[in-house]
Structure 1
Amino acid sequence: MLTLTGEAAAHWRTLVAHQRPEWPSTAELDEVVDHLAALLPLVKPQECDTLTARLAQAAEGKAFLLQGGDCAERFDCLSTRVIHSKLRLLQQMAVILAHASAVPVVKVGRMAGQYAKPRSRPTETVAGRTLPVYRGDAVNGIGFSQAERLPDPARLLRMYDVSRYTLDVMRAYARGGTDLRQLHRRSQDFVARSPVGERYEEFAGRIAQALSSGNACGDDRLPTTELFASHEGLLLDYEAALTRRDPRSGRRYAGSGHMLWIGDRTRQLDGAHVAYFATIDNPIAVKLGPATTPEQALALIDRLDPDRRPGRLTFIVRMGAHRVRYLLPQLVEKVTASGAPVVWVCDPMHGNTFEAPSGHKTRRFDDIVAEVAGFFEVHKAFGTHAGGLHIELTGEDVTECVGGGADLGFDDLHRNYESACDPRLNADQALDLAFLVAEMFHPGATGTGAPDAAVDAAARQAHHGSSPASSGT
C-alpha cells in the first residue's frame, strides 16, 4: 500500500509530461489548479477499492471487464438521456457476456472524465491554414479558429462540473435498479430486426429463459447496481489537483475517477505519467500498442505494481487485427512467467483505424471482431484468461464504423458521423459484437458452433481491405 511523503508524491513534476498542452498562461493554470484542489473529489476511496476487488477476480479468471464509452466526451453533448443510453447498452452487452462466460461482468464506463485526447501531431492544417490540433474539450474547442483552438485552463473547471454531473446520473441510475428481463428484451428487439439476427436467436432465447427463471448466469454473477467510471489520466495538472489522501488509511487516490489509464503515447518509463500513476492507489491500466516489448511490460509492472496486488494493474492491448496473433504471445508469455497478476483486456478499436475515401476516420467492424478473436485465441493457447474488452461505443444511431449486421458502407458515413475524434460503434454494432464475442467463450455459446469457427472466420475477414493506422488511446 502507498504511504508516500509529499516530496515523493510530487516527483512526477520534475519529469517530462508528454502530450501536455501548451497552456498560454502559467498563472491562469495555477489559479485553476488551486481552485480544483479546494473542491471535493468526484469518487470515494471505497468505490475505487471495490473496483480493485472486482478486477482482482478478473485477474484470477473469475470475472470479465467490459469497459466502454465515447472516444472523447463533449461538453455540448451532455444529457441524462445520452448517459442512460450508454449505460443501458453496457448492461445489455454485460447480460450477453455474463451468460456466455458464466462469470461476473464488471461494467466500467469510458465516461465522466474522458475529455482529453493525445494527438499524433501538435497542429492541424486546413486549406493552407495551420492551427493547434483539437485535444479534447478539456483543453480547447473543436471549431477551426484561433480562438477555439487556443488551450484554455478554465476548461478544466468545466470538465470537473460535467464529470460530477455524469457521475450523479450514473449513481442515480444504479440506485434505481434494472429489470434485466426488460433490458434483455431490447437485445431481443435487436435480434429480431437485425439482418444477421437469426444467428443469435437461439442464444438470446436461452438468456430470456434463464432470466425468467431468475438465473441469468447464476447467483450473483451480474451485480446490476455496480457501475464505475474511467478515463485516460492524460492531464496531470487536473489529476494531481483532485488527488487526495484517505484519512482512514493514509493511501492516496486520484479523485477524478474510479479507474485511470495511461495511453500508449504516454507510457514512457522515465515520464511524468508513469511516475504520477505510481503514487495513487486506484486500479490503473496501461495501453500497450504494437511497439511494446516484453521488457517494457515487465518494467511497467515493477514501477506500477511492485507489490503484485491483484486488481491493481490492467494491460489493455491494442495491436490491430493484422498483428495481434504474432505480437501478443510474447507479452502474455513473459508477463505470465513473471507471476504478475495483471488483467488482460483487448482494445480492438485503436489499432484498426483508417481514413475512408470521404476523409472520415473509420474502422471496419470485421477488423474489430478479428482482433478480439485473435486476443481470445492467444489466451486460449497459453491457458490464460481473456479478461475483458475496451470498446469505443455509443447508444446513439451513429454511422462512424463500417460493416456490422446492417452492413454500413463508406457512403453511409456522412449520414450521422458525430464523433469529435475517433469512430465509435453504434448500439446495434455493439450488440452484434457482444453476441459474436459470446461465441468465443466456449463451444456452442450462441448455438452457432464452436468458437474456433468464429475465430477462423474473423481471421479471414481481417485480411481484407486497407491496412489500419494506429489511432488515439
Structure 2
Amino acid sequence: MTWNKDSWRNLNIKQQPTYPDLDELKKVEDRLSKLPPLVFAGEVRSLKADLAKVTRGEAFLLQGGDCAESFSNFSANSIKNMFKVSLQMAVALTFAGGLPVVKVGRVAGQFAKPRSSDFEEIDGVKLPSYRGDIINDLEFSAKARTPKPEKMIEAYFQSASTLNLLRAFARGGFANLHEIHSWNLGFVEDNRLDERLSHLADDITRALEFMKACGIDTENPALNETKFYTSHEALLLPYEEALTRVDSLTGDYYGCSGHMLWIGERTRGIDDAHVHFLSGIKNPIGVKTGPTITSSEILALCDKLNPKNEAGRLNIIVRMGAETIEKNFPKVLKEVLKEGREILWSIDPMHGNTIKTSVGYKTRDFDAILSEVKSFVEIHRSLGSYPGGIHLEMSGDDVTECTGGAFNVTEKTLADRYETQCDPRLNASQALELSFMLADLLKSFKKSNL
C-alpha cells in the first residue's frame, strides 16, 4: 500500500474508541491539523542521532514518566518533580555507569491507554472502558465514558504547556550541575538513598572544582543545560495524523506530537494500522514486545519500520516479566542478532510484573522489576549484545503504588497515596534506587567487555 498520512484508515485497527459524533470528530481533527506542531523535525533528528549512539553502545537510554497523564492532576510541581528525578537518575547512570544518558520522558502526550476489554461492567452496568483523558473520563457513568473528540484539543494544549515548562527547565539553569545538591526531593532525604545521593553530589561538586582549578570552563552549556525529549504511545491515530507535518527542509513526514513514538504490544500487528502509520514518519519508533514475540516477528517489524537499517530509528522495548524473560528472550535475541539489524534494545520491567492484591490494587513488586532488569543485562552480556536502555512508568512524587524498595511500600500502605489513573508507578525513591543498581550493572557490563 502506498503510504500517506491517512492511509491507515483503510487497514485493520485495534484499541480505538467509537466516537458517536463523527462530524464533531472531523471538526476537531481539522482544528488540530492547523495548530502549530508540538515538536520540530530538527529536534527529532537530534534525538535520532543520540539514539544511534545508544545503538552502538556509546550511550544509554533512560525513558520514563507517567503511566497516563491526567487533566485533573496536571501541575507545574508534578512536571518539575518528574524532571528532577530524571536528572538524578541520569547523573547516577552517567557518573557511576560511565556513559552519557539520553533522557526521554513519557510526557506531553501520554494520554491514551490500551485496555484489555472494550467494556467494563460494575454491578450489572456495562460501559465503555476508560481509555485515558484524551478520550473519555475515569468516572463510571454513561456520560463520562462516552468518547469526546474535543478532549484531543485539551490534550494538545496541556502537552504544549508541559513542553514549554520542560524546555525552560532544560535550558534555563535548572539542570545546572553546579546546583546538584538542590535537586534532592524532600521525601528522599529521610531514607537510605540520601547518603548515596549526597556522596554522588559531593563527588560531582569536587570534580567541577578540580576542572575549574585546572582552567577548564565549567560554565560550558554542556554542564549547565541538558537535552530532554518527549515520547508517548501513538495509540489514538486521529490525533497522531492531525499532528503529522511535512518538514520544509527535507519534504519528509514527521509525527509532531512527540519526539519518539511507540507502538504497544496489543497494536504491533505487522499488517495493521499502527505499524503502517508509523512506518511513514521519520521519528524514532519504539515497539513493545511481550513474552510471545518471535524472532521472525521482530525481523518483520524491522523490515517494515526500518527498511534502510538506520541506527537510532528502531527501539525494541522488551516487556516479558521476571519469570519469563530468561526462558523466552535469549533464543529470540540470538536469532535476531544473526541478521545484523540496527536495533536499540531496551527493557520495560514494569508491564510484565503487574499483579493484583487481595484488596484489588494493581501493583508491581520492586524485586521483580529489578530481577527482570538484571536478567536483561545478563542475557545481552552472554550473547555479546548491548542492553541499551530502560523504559519505566514512574513518578517524581511520593506515591505508593509499587511494593518494596527503599521507600518500603507494603500491600497495607498502598492505599496511602495510590494515585495512578491506570497502572502502578515507581515513586522517586524507588526509581533512584533502581538507577543506582542499574549503574552498577552497567559498570560491571563494561568491565566484562574490555
Same structural fold, with TM-score higher than 0.5 when normalized by the shorter chain: yes
* TM-superposed deviation, 1:35: 1.0
- Aligned-pair identity in percent equals 45
* Worse overlay, 389-398 or 201-210: 201-210
Q: Which amino acid aligns with 2:344?
A: V
* 1:376 is aligned to 2:373: no
1:191/1:201 contact within 8 Å kept: no
2:314/2:343 contact within 8 Å kept: yes
Within 5 Å, give how 1:88-99 maps onto structure 2: 88-99=84-95
Within 5 Å, give how 1:202-241 maps onto structure 2: 206-214=203-211, 224-241=225-242
Q: Which stretches in structure 1 are left out of the alignment for 5+ residues?
A: 452-473
* Residue 284 of structure 1: aligned partner: 285
* Compared CA separation, residues 44 and 203, structure 1 to 2 (3 A): closer
* TM-superposed deviation, 1:393: 0.7
* Residue 54 of structure 1: aligned partner: 50
2:176/2:223 contact within 8 Å kept: no
Within 5 Å, give how 1:258-297 maps onto structure 2: 258-297=259-298
* Residue 466 of structure 1: aligned partner: none
* TM-superposed deviation, 1:248: 1.3
Query: Cα deviation per residue 1:404-453 (whole Å; 9 max; x = unaligned)?
Result: 013210000111110000000111111111111111012499xxxx99xx
* Residue 19 of structure 1: aligned partner: 15
* Compared CA separation, residues 325 and 28, structure 1 to 2 (3 A): same
* Compared CA separation, residues 297 and 111, structure 1 to 2 (3 A): same
Query: Cα deviation per residue 1:173-230 (whole Å; 9 max; x = unaligned)?
Result: 1121323243256459877632466677766654554354359xx9998784201010
* Residue 390 of structure 2: aligned partner: 389
Equivalents in 2 of 1:224, 1:436: separation in Å? 26
Q: Which amino acid aligns with 2:351?
A: H
* Residue 190 of structure 2: aligned partner: 193
* TM-superposed deviation, 1:310: 0.6
* Residue 83 of structure 1: aligned partner: 79
* Compared CA separation, residues 222 and 282, structure 1 to 2 (3 A): farther
* Residue 470 of structure 1: aligned partner: none
Equivalents in 1 of 2:249, 2:164: separation in Å? 24
* Residue 215 of structure 2: aligned partner: none
1:190/1:197 contact within 8 Å kept: no
1:200/1:435 contact within 8 Å kept: no
* Compared CA separation, residues 17 and 444, structure 1 to 2 (3 A): closer
Q: Which amino acid aligns with 1:47?
A: E
1:42/1:255 contact within 8 Å kept: yes
Equivalents in 2 of 1:357, 1:208: separation in Å? 47
1:187/1:431 contact within 8 Å kept: no
Within 5 Å, give how 1:251-262 maps onto structure 2: 251-262=252-263
Equivalents in 2 of 1:75, 1:192: separation in Å? 30
Q: Which amino acid aligns with 1:25?
A: D
Q: Which amino acid aligns with 1:97?
A: L
Equivalents in 2 of 1:320, 1:337: separation in Å? 24
Equivalents in 1 of 2:70, 2:186: separation in Å? 29
Q: Which amino acid aligns with 2:304?
A: R
* 1:175 is aligned to 2:176: no
Query: CA RMSD of the aligned region, Å?
Result: 2.4
* Compared CA separation, residues 142 and 191, structure 1 to 2 (3 A): closer
* TM-superposed deviation, 1:158: 0.8
* Compared CA separation, residues 158 and 201, structure 1 to 2 (3 A): closer
Query: Cα deviation per residue 1:227-252 (whole Å; 9 max; x = unaligned)?
Result: 10100000011101110111210110
* Compared CA separation, residues 410 and 185, structure 1 to 2 (3 A): same
* Worse overlay, 381-390 or 64-73: 381-390
Query: Cα deviation per residue 1:306-362 (whole Å; 9 max; x = unaligned)?
Result: 001110110111010111112221222122211111111110001000101221110
* Compared CA separation, residues 112 and 328, structure 1 to 2 (3 A): same
Q: What TM-score does the superposition give when structure 2 sets the normalisation length?
A: 0.92
2:187/2:398 contact within 8 Å kept: no
* 1:428 is aligned to 2:429: yes
Q: Which amino acid aligns with 2:210?
A: S
Q: Pick from 157, 161, 183: which aligns with 1:161? A: 157
Query: Cα deviation per residue 1:3-58 (whole Å; 9 max; x = unaligned)?
Result: x97x6443321101110111111111111111111111111000000000000000
Aligned residues: 441
SS of residue paired to 2:265: coil
Equivalents in 1 of 2:231, 2:185: separation in Å? 29
Q: What TM-score does the superposition give when structure 1 sets the normalisation length?
A: 0.88
Equivalents in 1 of 2:93, 2:106: separation in Å? 18
* Residue 64 of structure 2: aligned partner: 68
1:105/1:222 contact within 8 Å kept: no
Q: Which amino acid aligns with 1:405?
A: A
* Residue 311 of structure 2: aligned partner: 310
1:92/1:184 contact within 8 Å kept: no
* Compared CA separation, residues 255 and 187, structure 1 to 2 (3 A): same
Query: Cα deviation per residue 1:114-161 (whole Å; 9 max; x = unaligned)?
Result: 000000011112223221111000000011111101111111111111
Equivalents in 2 of 1:317, 1:433: separation in Å? 17
Equivalents in 2 of 1:25, 1:409: separation in Å? 45
Q: Which amino acid aligns with 2:406?
A: G
* 1:402 is aligned to 2:407: no
